[in-house]
Amino acid sequence: MHDNNSLIDRIYRRLSNVPMWVMWGIVVIWTIPSLSLFINSFRSRTRQRDSGFWEFVRDGDRDYQFGCPEDYNAPDLFHMIENYCMVLSNDQSSGMLSSVISSLAIAVPSTIIPISIASFAAYAFAWIDFKGRKPLFIGTVALLSIPLQVALIPLLIMYSGGAHFTIPFTERTLTMVPDFALAGGPWAVVLTHTGFAMPFAIFLLHNYMSSLPGELIESARVDGADHFSTFVRLVLPLSVPAIAAFAIFQFLWTWNDYLIAVVMLNGGTPEVFPTTQRIANLAGDFGEYEHLLTAGAFVQAFVPLVVFFSLQRYFVRGLLAGSVKG
Amino acid sequence: MATVTLDKINKVYPNGFHAIHDLDLEIADTEFLVLVGPSGCGKSTALRMIAGLEEISGGEMHIGDNVVNDVEPKDRDIAMVFQNYALYPHMTVRDNIGFALKLAKTPKAEIDAQVEEAARILELTEQLGKRPGQLSGGQRQRVAMGRAIVRQPSAFLMDEPLSNLDAKLRVQMRAEIARLQRDLGVTTVYVTHDQVEAMTMGDRVCVLKDGYLQQVDTPQNLYDKPDNVFVAAFIGSPSMNLNEGNLAGTTLTLGSHTIELSADVFEKRPGLRQFDGRDVIVGIRPEDLEDASLAPEEKKGATIATTCTLTEALGSEIIVHFELDAPRVDAGDPDAVNDLGEYAAVGRFDPRSRVTIGDAIEIAVNTGNLHFFDPQSRSAVW
């Protein structure tokens, strides 16, 4: 572990020699695009189109009152948070509030369900000795290599009509999966996310759980714990850093997903569209709400930030401190 | 409280490695038995089989009157202390100690009472609210002990519980564990690779090597009457000098030295007569060697003249390495460090000895305490 000559260590040492001001320079450069988006999200449509974001200092001829405007069409009056007022309304053409709810309804279960299933599976793969454990695990991990795109259409067909198998040369048809009519609703998206998250979740959690000291698990066994209590009382609490890491990635991925949502929600009502889909449609057919994209993008980006910072404290270093020595 | 009996226990790993061969062992109720041996001798495997963490490939394991071969660890009524303590890092000391009781669905009040009691015995009361990460090595060790005693099991199993402590603490905990075991009167099987721990703690000591039982006896008997070359070299520190010698009548030849054996040596070991005119392995404990100028008259059985090659003064004694031109015998301990060279031996002298490196010295040998082993079977000659 402390192999000083490994490539990573050498890169790390090189990087730690870079002066601080260079780092700050990089930070500034990387922040500029977000900053421009952020500043423009407070500017009116005409201002956004006429001048660059750095011109915002000259926007002082506006009425910068707080609160949402009563009349959105008053020509000279622009409220600072007007764009946000419009984006966070329930307005059919300009609002995206309902899509935030939809996104949450998709991303939250799409994060929690895979974790709850995968942590059980990962424990079994790591600590229960059963026949075929290794091939099954390899098979599960091998699923990582299946590209999402190849499964989209089959899944969509399965969600909208069930899966049926006609036995060759006979008239018989077996129904493998009945038609639950999921397509066009959030569950179609959630199930797809769950399925595709599973291999990676199992892989990640298995690697973490199997690195827990074996003596701990054995100690629990001698203390009288069956697999379930070992899992719930010991392995799960100790796996919190891995679970939090996976939760952040999975939430980000499902929150930002567009492809699966577009395919699975095709034909559904616009109320079930997540933010990504809503933003894509926000500009409108003739671009009359183009200027709302900046505010919309910020609303869309805000939730993952909250998730990230609230889960960050679970990345605890030294969680195992004091358990075993050596 | 229970006896633990191993009846022809075997362990064969799936890869074909035969770790334990026909191990027979009877551990009496309330006995403190120490399993000792060099690394890889199978002592931990044996303990883990008693615990139920390792499957038994052959033979029968009894705890009390029950055959426990197929009984889950939790149903064997045993408590185990692991080498690395294996404390639950996310729980407080209180929860760590009470974990087994909690799993057994003991009422809360009773758990509290028993945890407090265990903490009192182990002087952990102050630490009950802390996490293992906030404790010192010695305290963690106590928590691990507390987790074992709170369950009042029929047997304690301890797997090198002191090997992670520093030397001073180890000596202290050694005494403490031995005292605790005596007070609680619980049958205990204790695994260690440290022969000092084995000798000081055990009622009886079981020496293992390569999965074979070498000898089970009280510490004193192991020291006085080792069954074979391995046990002879393993027990005692510094270990016994084992050299090839030759017996002719009552004269023992060790390289260029000759030692005259008295009649009571042959009386004590009648079997030795058969080695007349043959090679024999001679074992001399360093304690039975002394600077001839300081040796009491009655201990001066024989003397050998040689050269001192190294001295280690320990205050209470001086360890003297000296030349001995009889070939050394390898006792077969994989952990032994052979820093002596082919023709060297060790004596343990009185600190008044003024021997220094390079001196020609005369060494008194206490011939009455010599050990003899058959060069073929390597077992003791009696």
> Where do the domains of chain B lie, and which CATH numbers do they carry?
4-233 (3.40.50.300), 238-373 (2.40.50.140)
β B279-284/B289-291 pair status:
unpaired
Token duo for residue A6: 């490994």
Distance CA B198, CA B221 (A): 13
Chain A: residue nearest B99 by CA? A223
- Residues in B closer than 8 angstroms to A128, CB to CB, are none
- pLDDT band of A1, cuts 50, 70, 90: very low
CB–CB contact B132 A215 (8 Å) = no
Question: Which is higher by pLDDT, A16 or B316?
Answer: B316
Residue A76 has pLDDT above 70, yes or no: no
Distance CA B174, CA B177 (A): 5
Q: What percent of chain A has pLDDT over 70?
A: 89
**H or E segment to which residue B177 belongs:** helix B167-184
Residue A299's nearest CA partner among A93, A108, A87, A37 is A87
**H or E segment to which residue B215 belongs:** strand B212-217
What are the φ and ψ backbone dihedral angles of A71, each rounded to 5 degrees?
-120, 110
Q: How far is A222 from chain B (nearest CA, A)?
A: 5
Q: How far is A227 from chain B (nearest CA, A)?
A: 12
Q: Which domains does chain A carry?
A: 96-314 (1.10.3720.10)
- Residues in A closer than 8 angstroms to B53, CB to CB, are 218, 221-222
Q: How far is B128 from chain A (nearest CA, A)?
A: 14
Distance CA B38, CA A129 (A): 30
Q: How far is B220 from chain A (nearest CA, A)?
A: 33
What is the four-CA torsion angle of B347, B351, B357, B362, rounded to 10 degrees?
A: -60
**Stretch A45-65: mean pLDDT, rounded?**
74
Top residue of B82, B92, B141 to mutate, by most chain A CBs within 10 Å, is: B82
Token duo for residue A254: 């499902």
For A4, other C-beta atoms within 10 Å of its C-beta total 7
Q: Which residues of A39-77 are buried (b: 16+ CB within 10 A; e: fewer)?
A: bbbbbbbebbeeeebeeeeebeebeeeeeebeeeeeeee
- pLDDT band of A326, cuts 50, 70, 90: very low
β B279-284/B241-248 pair status:
antiparallel
Cβ–Cβ contact B165 with A under 8 A: no
Residue with tokens 């609160």: A67
What are the φ and ψ backbone dihedral angles of A119, each rounded to 5 degrees?
-70, -35
Token duo for residue A73: 């069409």
Cβ–Cβ contact B371 with A under 8 A: no
Cβ–Cβ contact B289 with A under 8 A: no
> What amino acid is encoded at B273 in this protein?
R
Distance CA B141, CA B164 (A): 9
CB–CB contact B89 A319 (8 Å) = yes
**CA-to-CA separations, A7 to A13, A162, A292, B323, in angstroms, rounded:** 10, 51, 46, 52
For B84, other C-beta atoms within 10 Å of its C-beta total 21
pLDDT at A67: 67
CB–CB contact B87 A323 (8 Å) = yes
What are the φ and ψ backbone dihedral angles of B379, each rounded to 5 degrees?
-100, 165
Residue B86: which of A215, A237, A318 has the nearest Cβ?
A215
Q: Model confidence over A295-323: pLDDT tens digits? A: 899 889 889 989 888 888 887 665 666 67
Proportion of chain A in helix, strand, coil states, percent, rounded to 5:
65, 5, 30
**H or E segment to which residue B121 belongs:** helix B108-121
Chain B: residue nearest A239 by CA? B90
Cβ–Cβ contact B307 with A under 8 A: no
- Residues in A closer than 8 angstroms to B147, CB to CB, are 219, 223
Lowest mean pLDDT among A58-62, A259-263, B295-299: A58-62
- Residues in B closer than 8 angstroms to A134, CB to CB, are none
Residue B144's nearest CA partner among B130, B166, B161 is B161
CB–CB contact A325 B78 (8 Å) = no
Residue A213: which of B84, B103, B104 has the nearest Cβ?
B84
Residue A34 has pLDDT above 60, yes or no: yes
CA torsion through residues B130, B134, B138, B141, sign:
positive
Could you tell me if B282 and B371 are in contact, meaning their C-beta atoms sit under 8 angstroms apart?
yes
Residue A277's nearest CA partner among A195, A155, A184, A151 is A184
Question: Which is higher by pLDDT, A125 or A287?
Answer: A125
Q: Report residues of chain B scoring pLDDT below 50.
A: none
Chain B: residue nearest A322 by CA? B133
Q: Hey, is B361 helix, strand or coil?
A: strand
- Residues in B closer than 8 angstroms to A224, CB to CB, are 74, 100, 103-104
CB–CB contact B137 A215 (8 Å) = no
**CA-to-CA separations, A56 to A41, A50, A62, A64, B300, in angstroms, rounded:** 11, 11, 11, 12, 106
Q: Hey, is A3 helix, strand or coil?
A: coil
Q: How far is B144 from chain A (nearest CA, A)?
A: 10
Distance CA A206, CA A126 (A): 6
Distance CA B178, CA B184 (A): 10
- Residues in A closer than 8 angstroms to B104, CB to CB, are 224
For chains A and B, CB pairs below 8 A equal 89
- Residues in B closer than 8 angstroms to A219, CB to CB, are 80, 82, 86, 88, 147
Distance CA B356, CA B238 (A): 19
* pTM value surpassing 0.90: no
Terminal CA-to-CA distance of chain A, rounded, Å? 14
CB–CB contact A320 B135 (8 Å) = no
CB–CB contact B84 A218 (8 Å) = no
Residue B88: which of A216, A318, A325 has the nearest Cβ?
A216
- Residues in A closer than 8 angstroms to B99, CB to CB, are 220, 223, 225, 233
Helix and strand numbers (H, E) in chain A are 15, 2
Bridge partners of A326, per DSSP, are none
- Residues in B closer than 8 angstroms to A316, CB to CB, are none
- Residues in B closer than 8 angstroms to A222, CB to CB, are 51-53, 73-74, 78-80
Distance CA A125, CA A113 (A): 18
pLDDT at A63: 54
Q: What is the mean pLDDT of chain A?
A: 86
Distance CA A322, CA B205 (A): 31
Top residue of B54, B63, B88 to mutate, by most chain A CBs within 10 Å, is: B88
**CA-to-CA separations, B221 to A166, A317, B205, B215, B216, in angstroms, rounded:** 81, 51, 10, 10, 9
pLDDT at B337: 65
Token duo for residue A310: 């609230």
Q: Model confidence over A91-130: pLDDT tens digits? A: 777 788 889 999 999 999 999 999 999 999 999 999 998 9
**H or E segment to which residue B163 belongs:** none
**Count of residues in chain B:** 382
CB–CB contact B100 A213 (8 Å) = no
Q: Hey, is B228 helix, strand or coil?
A: strand
Cβ–Cβ contact B142 with A under 8 A: no
- Residues in B closer than 8 angstroms to A220, CB to CB, are 88, 99
> What amino acid is encoded at B245 in this protein?
G
Distance CA A302, CA A299 (A): 5
- pLDDT band of A73, cuts 50, 70, 90: low
Distance CA A280, CA A271 (A): 14
Q: Which residues of A140-177 are buried (b: 16+ CB within 10 A; e: fewer)?
A: bbeeeeeeeeeebeebbebbbeeeeeeeeeeeeeeeee
Q: How far is A221 from chain B (nearest CA, A)?
A: 6
Residue A75 has pLDDT above 70, yes or no: no
β B4-12/B18-27 pair status:
antiparallel
